[in-house]
Amino acid sequence: MSTRSIALANQKGGVGKTTTAVSLAACLAERGKRTLLLDLDPQANATSALGLEKLSGGSVYKALLGGASLTESIRPGGHENLDIIPSEVDLAVAEVDVARAENYLQRLQFALTPIQGADRYDFIIVDCPPSLGILTMNALAAVDSVVVPMQAEYFALEGLAVIMRVLQQIRDSGANPSLEVQGIVLTMYDGRTNLAQQVAAEVRKHFAGKVYKTVIPRTVRLAEAPSFGKPITTYDSGSYAAQCYRSLTDELLAQPWPSPAGPASEQAPAGVETPVPTAG
């Protein structure tokens, strides 16, 4: 099996995106899948969630600008089959610096190509920032597919519509013509409320076949896990939340996989230099 890459993306913060990225990576590793978690968020929450320090110079920043190999930033994730490329606060500067670079939408794609070609990992999970800026655009241009975590709240459908437009822009630009939505996962879910049930029903109606059956509950144990530097599968392996993320992982593994567009080329496709509007 070739390396499969997934971005966890949502321009809205506080929807369980990083928790889902870390938990999926941990569950895949638990299943024996060689997994690389790439923390692309300058807040570095995925890095902290695995109990790692935010070290200056340890992120993808230099690799994005062509000044280093991305393999130099890979560190053990503290669990069997799990590695991480950590983040740091300085990565926020990349939003400006990468925008000035040639083929700016494909900087991460170029950096990841040697890792993907080396058959070192089964999965690469990318935790994006809670925005639709240059870093998230680079992630979307570099991966096979996107998982969108979302809360069952009033503005959820509006936010999903924005993400879908951006994904279409990435495809149309030529940066990643085969980009697909792998799935939408409802997070921080409280089935006791009418609102949550109504939003879930609307999302399943409008995005039929793209919404995972597994929903992630809002639980205290899940909220506590990052402060102990552990994914929920280690912090409380027998908890309901851990079981839900394992179930979500099983759904993911059972899905058909998008056909890759092929390795990145240093020659940018037509239209890649045209800025993709950011929405948020």
Residue 268: CB atoms within 10 A of its CB come to 17
Q: For the whole model, what pTM was predicted?
A: 0.90
Other Cβ atoms closer than 10 A to 31: 15
Q: What is the dihedral of CA 143, 8, 54, 76, to 10 degrees?
A: -60
Q: What is the pLDDT of residue 17?
A: 94
* Digit-coded pLDDT (tens) for 63-79: 999 889 999 999 999 99
Task: Give dist(CA 269, CA 232) in Å, integer.
Answer: 41
Sign for the pseudo-dihedral over CA of 83, 88, 92, 96: negative
List strands edge to edge, sheet with 35-39: 75-79, 82-85, 35-39, 123-127, 4-8, 145-151, 180-187
Predicted pLDDT at 260: 53
Domain parsing of the chain, residue ranges = 4-254
Query: In DSSP terms, which residues pair with 6 in a beta bridge?
Result: 125, 145
Out of 3.30.870.10, 3.40.1390.10, 3.40.50.300, 3.40.50.720, the CATH code matching 4-254 is 3.40.50.300
| The pLDDT of residue 31 is above 50 | yes
**Over the stretch 199-214, which tens digit does the pLDDT of each residue have?**
889 889 888 889 999 9
Residue 263 predicted with pLDDT over 90 = no
Residue 82 has pLDDT above 90, yes or no: yes
